[in-house]
Amino acid sequence: MKVVYRDGVHDITNDEYHAANGISRSRLMLLDKSPYHYWYEVLSGEAEVRESTPAMLIGSLFHTLLLEPEKFDREYALMPKLDRRTKQGKEDYEAFAQEAQNKIILTQDQYDKALIMATQTKKHEIVTTLLDEAVFEQSIFWTDKETGLQFKTRPDIWSSKMVVDLKTTV
């Protein structure tokens, strides 16, 4: 059973947002494609869970480093340099994997790339203006008066100036 949030702005995790009741833009896009697509992806229970691509991982990491750096240690684990061909390397990897359980494991190269992206982005004048007095990754729920359906959205950056959907690309 999905969690139902009252209408308003909620400071919840991305996983809680996706698990919550409410119709999002991406779900509306499925319905626009066809009712069957919506049924299959959302209601059938038959759709395969899509694995993140390396590009998606960098994008998510970039989001975290730019907008919510305080969440990095809770969500990610940086893979130490290990020689997993040796007994010690295998033991060290097992210990790391236990400690990193439920976290996204990153290579040093992935981390470095996303960190450079976030650091350079923060230096841009337009970005600093957008980030000034903004809130990040807040979940908004509202109920349509005509249909009684609840909708939801999660803007990356939201301020009195504008709403921003941050995107990365190769």
pLDDT at 131: 85
Query: Above 90 in pLDDT, residue 169?
Result: no
Query: Above 90 in pLDDT, residue 109?
Result: yes
pLDDT tens-digit profile of 41-50? 988 999 998 8
The whole-chain average pLDDT of the chain stands at 92
Taking residue 31's Cβ as centre, other Cβ atoms within 10 Å add up to 15
Query: Above 90 in pLDDT, residue 156?
Result: yes
pLDDT at 25: 93
Taking residue 20's Cβ as centre, other Cβ atoms within 10 Å add up to 19
pTM as predicted: 0.81
Amino acid at 27: R
Residue 101 is encoded by which pair of tokens? 């359980």
pLDDT at 129: 84
Q: Under a CB-based contact definition with an 8 Å cutoff, are residues 57 and 110 in contact?
A: yes
Using alpha carbons only, give the angle 157, 160, 163 rounded to the nearest 5 degrees.
Answer: 35
What per-residue string of b and e applies to 88-102 under the rule 16 or more CB within 10 Å gives b? eeeebeeeeeeeeee
Q: Under a CB-based contact definition with an 8 Å cutoff, are residues 14 and 68 in contact?
A: no
pLDDT tens-digit profile of 48-98? 988 889 999 999 999 999 999 999 999 999 999 988 899 999 999 999 999
Length of the chain: 170
Query: Above 90 in pLDDT, residue 2?
Result: no
How far apart, in whole angstroms, are the C-alpha atoms of residue 104 and residue 54?
12
Q: Under a CB-based contact definition with an 8 Å cutoff, are residues 96 and 152 in contact?
A: no
pLDDT range class, residue 159, cuts 50, 70, 90: confident
